[in-house]
Amino acid sequence: MKRIRTAKGRKVSSTRWLERQLNDPYVRRAKAENYRSRAAYKLLELDEKFGLLKGVKAVVDLGITPGGWSQVVRRRTPQASVVGIDLLPTDPIDGVTIFQMDFMDESAPDRLKEALGGQADLVLSDMAANTVGHQQTDHLRTMALVEAGLLFATEVLRPGGAYVAKVLAGGADNQLVAEMKRHFTTVKHAKPPASRKDSSEWYVIAQGFKSEYPIIDKELHDYR
């Protein structure tokens, strides 16, 4: 195990983070296989379990930065076009249209839909709200992103499509799961091995989009 001496001016927490990075097999593997982040293996593992990328031709990547998930999509399904969005800048990826803007901006969904030029097979959301250290507040902020992603997914997915989103420990709340089950054939939670054991992140995987159901409004209990 590699250890780093605590440099002058460096916090102990920063030193521990560096040690964890250096000793993380997924970090080493990502560097060796030219993935931008270890997060790529979370999607690879979810794909192995749920077959998310089989036959997909159009994918939306919400919270794309640094681009590991889109790299996985393009490598596994080179024919797929990908549209991504993030507040942070993202280096270009072949076959991927990237918008640097807030997904919660009112104009963002329309920008993504225009770039798609049609329906999507898969909507991926690795978005995470900035945590404030208050468990209930952090949970609510994260669920707001998941709900926004779900609304968008119901508007762009083709029949049979899938929506995958990051949630916190405990998964999506009962109301959100119930809403997903109205629109998808199966809804499951998973924590891929690449997610660190001490991380609170899980993923909710909704597959088999039922396009015959009404599209949800921004409030989960209101319908068009």
Sign of torsion over alpha carbons 171, 124, 181, 179? positive
Whole-angstrom Cα distance, residue 69 to residue 57? 15
Residue 126 annotated as lining a ligand binding site: yes
The β-bridge relationship of strands 120-125 and 58-62 is parallel
Whole-angstrom Cα distance, residue 197 to residue 39? 14
Instruction: Kindly write down the DSSP assignment for every residue of 153-202, as one continuous string.
Output: HHHHEEEEEEEEEEE-TT-S-HHHHHHHHHHEEEEEEE--TTS-TT---E
Residue 105 annotated as lining a ligand binding site: no
Most distant CA atoms of the chain, gap in Å:
61
Residue 67 annotated as lining a ligand binding site: yes
Whole-angstrom Cα distance, residue 10 to residue 113? 44
Is residue 11 part of the annotated active site? The answer reads: no
Of 57, 166, 181, 218, the active-site residue reads: 166
Residue 61 annotated as lining a ligand binding site: no
Residue 83 and residue 106 in contact, taking contact as beta carbons nearer than 8 Å:
no
Q: Which two tokens stand for residue 51?
A: 């077959």
What crossing angle do the helices spanning 40-50 and 68-76 adopt, rounded to 10°? Answer: 40
Q: Which residues are annotated as a binding site for S-adenosyl-L-methionine?
A: 67, 69, 86, 102, 126
Q: Which residues are annotated as a binding site?
A: 67, 69, 86, 102, 126
Q: Which residues are catalytic?
A: 166
